[in-house]
A and B are shown apart, each in its own frame.
Chain A
Amino acid sequence: MKKKPSFSHMGWMLTPVALIALVAGCSKENSAPVPEAKAQPKISAITTATFGRDSKDEGERLFGKECAFCHVGTSTGSFMLNRRLPDDQKGNADLNKRSDLEADYVKAVARNGLVNMPAFSKIEISDEDLDKIANYLARKKP
């Protein structure tokens, strides 16, 4: 029997966060309505598209193939999560840099989807590969 994932600890992500009214800080290049300093650090679209693909760490490689294009750099996942992060954590939405992710939580979100993130089927990511991705994201960061 599979354990049903619990969403109780996802509370902070699901609550609509007060919207940032500070649109004024936008320049043409970085027009996210998040104050400049609090936006995600800019990396090139090519880096986002190929992150982790040739990594020696299998977990990172799989994260690169399945997740990074949305969750690293200037892309949808990081962008949406950055909006939800509390003020003092803004700019740190990339999943590979987060130090608060637990493996079970990563797996539950991948399988069920969350808000605007679609669910991943077992064909797209096998349970085995998802374990590796989840462990990679939950690893102790230096």
Chain B
Amino acid sequence: MTSILPRGVSDASFNQALSEFRAIVGNSAVLNSDEDRQSYIDPYAMGDGKDHDSSAIIAPASTEEVQAIVRAANKYKVALWPVSRGKNLGYGTASPAEAGNVILDLSRMDKILDVNEKYAHCLLEPGVGFYDLFYHLQEKKLPLWMSVPGNSWGSVIGNALDRGIGYTPYGDHCEQICGMEVVMPDGEVIRTGMGAMANSTTWQNYKYGYGPSWDQMFMQSNFGIVTKAGVWLQPEPEMTAKVDLAFAKFEDAEWAIDILADLRRRDVIQHNIVFGTPVRAASTMSQRADWYEGEGAIPDSVCEEMMKKLGLGWWNARISLHGHEGVVKANADIIRKALEPKMGKELEFQFWAKGEPMEKAAQGVPTTMGLNCVNWYGGRGGHLGFSPVLSADGKIAFDYAKKVKSLYQEVGQDYYASFTIGRRHINNVGLILYDRDDETTLNRAKKLIDMLLKEAASRGFAEYRSHISYMDAIGDTYDYGNHALRRLNNKVKAALDPNNIIAPGRNGIGSRK
């Protein structure tokens, strides 16, 4: 008894499609009861989440099953929404952009197919989680490290396909993908890069192959379903060092970002740098009511109290260094020279050398501690990510921070941001926290996101990634040449997927209104 149907599909035809799906994957891997669909509703939804309800869930165990499902989906014109582990919390979790899609849950395809110690790469199925890979590397005592996102519950591949970010070297996750296997919308399987040669021995060694390189085409897109991907890992370094930086004043952002971005660009710092506000740090370990129970945005004076108690600054960053001993020590000195005179104190690096207890190492260890932040306002918490891309420039970032903080204040929301600094860009990861059952916080969040969309666009900043409810709105801001890129994407979509059966509306491609 399904209360919602895939778009444009009749009840009878959907029932036939479901029987075919059951014949492919078995009864227990097709779910469509209210109870089961509810377990896929976004736990962070703005409200009850039913506006993104699915019509069913189907969970294949192999590439061949995915192919068969895609063929059946074409026959009945049933749209599929593929997820790897479906833990895209803050961006819609496993829910489809278009209500009524069948969620194609790939989490049963969870094999670690290969790990190569010498080349530091692996070949994974989409259901492999960060925890699974981490445990595998530990268990086999492989000297290979991974980069993990702030919430590591998800899939190594799923996260990379949404261009997720980590905070140690190799943290630009989409850049670590080397070679994919993809089921195309017509059910054919392709392999990208060197994998296009049947007996290739270099699929995970060289990304580009011969002719156009297609890997990026399957990221943040709906042109295919990725069933395997190669991922590069970090060879365990000889030494690491880490240091926490707390910048005392709000205005420090301007010079601090300039210094950190320059060190990042020169690869003295080899990872994306989180540069975050006190509420960002405090929300992972406390609730708002511990600090303030008043209406409106939390006052600066309360933030300053919070900073004092928690040892935070207005901006907080963790820097880690990785490499051979000589390089790590030299880079630590370069950072000291760059920051100490400005900060007016000595930096205390914690060093780790190979062989010492791993707890001291600046290694990426999967964690879900960040999820505490949804409890900031109490109740059934949730959040929405809004993350425009800025140039890696102190003044630009600081001006934007001032404006955004004032917008948060205007609607009465506590300012939460991280300027995640890359070599030439910043991902201004902002979370808008709310209590799902409190209309006031929800309306505030909606109002704020509209304001932020406009503000960012007016400055020439656009989002790096999008929540399912805002995929078209963010697509609209990419408007050069009367949305020439969207028109290209839609042309490709129509050519590859004429029935629009893979993730209609994903990133504004093939949206049906």
Point out residues on A near B: beta carbons under 8 Å: 2, 16, 19-21, 23-24, 26, 28, 31-33, 44-46, 48-50, 53-54, 65, 69-70, 74-76, 79-80, 83, 111, 113, 115-124, 126
Report whether B367 and A115 are in contact in the complex, using a CB–CB cutoff of 8 Å: no
* Cβ contacts A to B, 22 pairs, < 8 Å: A19-B287, A20-B290, A21-B290, A23-B286, A31-B309, A45-B365, A49-B365, A50-B131, A53-B139, A74-B369, A75-B368, A75-B369, A76-B369, A115-B380, A116-B43, A117-B43, A118-B43, A118-B93, A121-B39, A123-B31, A123-B107, A126-B28
Report whether A53 and B135 are in contact in the complex, using a CB–CB cutoff of 8 Å: yes
1/0 contact string of B131-148 vs chain A (CB within 8 Å): 110110011000000000
Report whether B139 and A111 are in contact in the complex, using a CB–CB cutoff of 8 Å: no
- The smallest C-beta distance from A18 to any residue of chain B, in angstroms, reads 10
Report whether A26 and B366 are in contact in the complex, using a CB–CB cutoff of 8 Å: no
Bound CA span A123–B39, Å: 10
- The smallest C-beta distance from B299 to any residue of chain A, in angstroms, reads 16
- The smallest C-beta distance from A70 to any residue of chain B, in angstroms, reads 5
- The smallest C-beta distance from A50 to any residue of chain B, in angstroms, reads 5
B404 located at the interface, meaning its Cβ lies under 8 Å from any Cβ of chain A in the complex: no
Chain A residue nearest to B42 in the complex (CB):
A118
Report whether A121 and B36 are in contact in the complex, using a CB–CB cutoff of 8 Å: yes
Interface residues on B, range: 35 or more
Point out residues on B near A: beta carbons under 8 Å: 28-29, 31, 35-36, 38-40, 43, 57, 59, 89, 93, 105, 107-108, 131-132, 134-135, 138-139, 152-153, 285-287, 289-291, 309-311, 358-359, 365-372, 374-375, 378-381
| Residue in A32, A44, A74, A119 whose beta carbon sits within 8 Å of that of B286 in the complex | A32
Chain B residue nearest to A2 in the complex (CB):
B35
With a cutoff of 8 Å between Cβ atoms, the chain A residues found around residue B40 in the complex are 121
- The smallest C-beta distance from A1 to any residue of chain B, in angstroms, reads 12
Bound CA span A113–B139, Å: 31
With a cutoff of 8 Å between Cβ atoms, the chain A residues found around residue B57 in the complex are 121, 123
With a cutoff of 8 Å between Cβ atoms, the chain A residues found around residue B31 in the complex are 121-123
Q: Report if A111-B39 is in contact (Cβ < 8 Å); known contacts: A116-B371, A122-B28.
A: yes
Report whether B285 and A45 are in contact in the complex, using a CB–CB cutoff of 8 Å: no
- The smallest C-beta distance from B443 to any residue of chain A, in angstroms, reads 21
Report whether A80 and B372 are in contact in the complex, using a CB–CB cutoff of 8 Å: yes
